[in-house]
C-alpha cells in the first residue's frame, strides 16, 4: 500500500474514532429514596425524581444525546451507600439527587472517589461539598444558613434567651445547632444560650420541653426533622408557652404537617426558612410549568420540585454547551454558568457553594405565609 493510502486509512480511522466519541450517550442517574421517614412519608423524593426525569427527557427531545436512570433506595445511609456504589460501578457520567445532608455526604464521598459529577438539589451541610471537586449543590450551605438565622434571632427577633434542640445523630442537625450557637454569641455576647442535644429515635419531647421551660426562654431553635418539630410545637402549646419557634430548612409548610401541630393558640410565633419563596416566577417559570404539567402534575409545586428542576437544568445546560465535557470540568462549568433558576439566581462563591438568601415563612392560621427575604 502506498504512503498516501496508509495516510487515508489512518485519517478515516481517526475520523471514525472521533465520531464514536461524539456519539457516546451521556448517562445520567438520579438517586432518590422511596420514602422520607422524618417527613411523614411525604412524596418529596418522588417529586424530585419526577422533575429530574422531566428535565432530562426534554433535553433529549431538544437533541441532547443523554439517558436517564432512576436509582431508588430505602431512607437510610446504608442503602444510600449501596446505591451510590452501584452507580459508580456502572460508570454513569453524572448524578443528580438525594435530599438530605446525611445521604448526600455518603453518596458524595463515593462519587468523588469514582470521579463522577454529583449535583445535590437541597442538601446544605458543608461536608457535602467541602474538599470535593466532583460534588456541587443548588442551595446555600449551613455556614450561611446558621449565620443568617442567628442574625435573624438576634437582630430582628431581639432574642435574649435561646434554647437549641438538635439531633446529634444527624450531621445536618448537629452542625446547624452548634454553629447557630457560635454565630449568635458572636453577634450578641450577652445572649443566654442553652443547648439540648437529642439523638436519633428520641421521643421524650414532653419532658424535654418541660426542662427547657424551667428557665425564661423567648426563642427555641429547632434544626430537626418535621416530625420532631411537630412534637415540640404540641408540647409547647400544652404548656401555654409564649415564645418564638424558629426552625431550619426542613419545613415545607404543607397542610399535612400543619395539621399535626394541633390546636394553635397564637402565642407561639413559628418561623421557618425555605430555598424558595413559593411563587412560580422568573425566567424559568414557563418551562418549569410546562414540564410540571406534562410529567409531574400529580405532585404539588414544592421546594423539592423547584430544587430538582434547578439541579437537573444546570447539568443539562452545561452538556448542551459542550457535548464532550466530562468529569470535573462539568462541575467547574456549572460554577461559571449564569443561571437564574426557580429558586433564584445561582451564583457560586469562593468556597464553591451558592451565595443565597433565606426565604422566611411564618405560620398564619392554617398555612405558612411568605414573610420576607433575609440576607
Note whether 88 and 234 are same-domain residues.
Answer: no
Asked if residue 15 has pLDDT above 50, the reply is no
In a domain, 11, yes or no: no
pLDDT in tens, 193-217: 999 999 999 999 999 999 999 999 9
Same domain, 136 and 46: yes
- Containing structural domain, residue 287: 18-140+279-342
179/310 same-domain check: no
Q: Choose between 96 and 36: higher pLDDT.
A: 96
Domain harbouring 112, CATH code? 3.40.50.2300
Within a domain: 6: no
How many structural domains are present in the chain?
Answer: 2
Cα gap 365→345, rounded to integer Å: 31
Residue 5 has pLDDT above 90, yes or no: no
Residue 127 bridge partners (DSSP): none
Model pLDDT, residue 203: 96
pLDDT confidence of 2, banded at 50, 70, 90? low
Residue 42 is predicted with a pLDDT of 77
Q: What is the mean pLDDT of the chain?
A: 92
250 and 302 together in one domain: no
Same-domain status, 318 and 332: yes
Q: In what order do the strands lie in the sheet with 219-222?
A: 192-198, 161-167, 219-222, 243-247, 268-274, 358-364, 367-374
Model confidence band, residue 75 (pLDDT cutoffs 50, 70, 90): confident
Helix (H) or strand (E) holding 109: helix 101-114
Grid coordinates given for 349: 462563591
> Do 171 and 318 share a structural domain?
no
Residue 349 lies in a domain: no
Is residue 175 located within the same domain as residue 252? Answer: yes
Pick from 68-72, 143-147, 252-256: least confident:
252-256
Instruction: Report residue 37's pLDDT band, with 50, 70 and 90 as the boundaries.
Output: low
Domain co-membership, 270 together with 288: no
155 and 58 co-located in one domain: no
Looking at the structure, tell me whether residues 263 and 151 fall in a common domain: yes
Q: Indicate if 133 and 23 belong to the same structural domain.
A: yes
Confidence (pLDDT) at 20? 41
Place of cell 397542610: 255
- pLDDT (tens digit per residue) in 304-342: 999 999 999 999 999 999 999 999 999 999 999 999 999
The answer to whether residue 154 sits within a structural domain is yes
Amino acid at each position: 500500500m502506498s504512503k498516501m493510502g496508509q495516510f487515508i486509512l489512518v485519517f478515516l480511522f481517526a475520523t471514525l474514532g472521533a465520531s464514536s466519541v461524539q456519539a457516546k450517550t451521556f448517562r445520567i442517574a438520579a438517586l432518590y429514596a422511596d420514602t422520607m421517614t422524618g417527613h411523614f412519608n411525604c412524596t418529596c423524593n418522588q417529586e424530585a425524581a419526577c422533575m429530574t426525569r422531566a428535565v432530562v427527557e426534554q433535553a433529549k427531545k431538544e437533541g441532547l444525546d443523554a439517558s436517564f436512570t432512576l436509582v431508588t433506595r430505602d431512607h437510610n445511609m446504608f442503602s444510600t451507600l449501596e446505591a451510590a456504589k452501584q452507580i459508580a460501578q456502572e460508570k454513569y457520567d453524572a448524578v443528580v439527587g438525594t435530599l438530605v445532608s446525611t445521604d448526600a455526604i455518603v453518596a458524595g464521598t463515593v462519587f468523588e472517589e469514582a470521579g463522577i459529577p454529583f449535583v445535590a438539589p437541597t442538601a446544605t451541610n458543608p461536608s457535602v461539598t467541602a474538599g470535593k471537586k466532583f460534588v456541587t449543590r443548588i442551595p446555600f450551605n449551613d455556614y450561611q444558613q446558621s449565620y443568617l438565622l442567628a442574625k435573624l434571632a438576634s437582630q430582628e427577633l431581639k432574642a435574649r434567651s435561646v434554647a437549641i434542640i438538635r439531633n446529634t445523630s444527624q450531621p445536618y442537625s448537629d452542625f446547624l445547632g452548634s454553629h447557630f450557637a457560635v454565630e449568635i454569641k458572636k453577634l450578641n455576647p450577652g445572649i443566654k444560650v442553652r443547648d439540648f442535644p437529642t439523638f436519633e429515635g428520641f421521643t421524650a419531647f414532653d419532658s424535654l420541653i418541660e426542662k427547657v421551660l424551667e428557665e425564661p426562654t423567648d426563642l427555641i431553635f429547632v434544626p430537626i426533622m418535621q416530625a420532631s418539630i411537630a412534637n415540640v410545637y404540641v408540647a409547647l402549646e400544652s404548656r401555654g408557652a409564649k415564645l418564638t419557634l424558629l426552625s431550619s430548612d426542613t419545613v415545607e409548610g404543607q397542610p399535612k404537617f400543619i395539621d399535626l401541630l394541633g390546636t394553635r393558640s397564637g402565642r407561639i410565633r413559628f418561623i421557618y426558612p425555605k430555598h424558595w419563596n413559593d411563587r412560580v416566577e422568573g425566567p424559568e417559570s414557563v418551562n418549569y410549568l410546562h414540564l410540571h404539567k406534562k410529567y409531574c402534575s400529580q405532585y404539588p409545586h414544592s421546594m423539592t420540585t423547584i430544587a430538582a428542576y434547578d439541579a437537573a437544568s444546570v447539568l443539562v445546560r452545561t452538556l448542551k454547551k459542550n457535548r464532550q465535557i466530562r468529569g470535573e470540568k462539568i462541575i467547574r462549568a456549572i460554577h461559571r454558568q449564569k443561571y437564574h433558576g426557580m429558586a433564584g439566581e445561582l451564583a457560586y462563591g469562593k468556597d464553591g457553594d451558592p451565595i443565597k438568601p433565606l426565604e422566611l415563612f411564618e405560620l398564619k392560621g392554617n398555612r405558612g405565609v411568605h414573610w420576607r427575604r433575609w440576607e
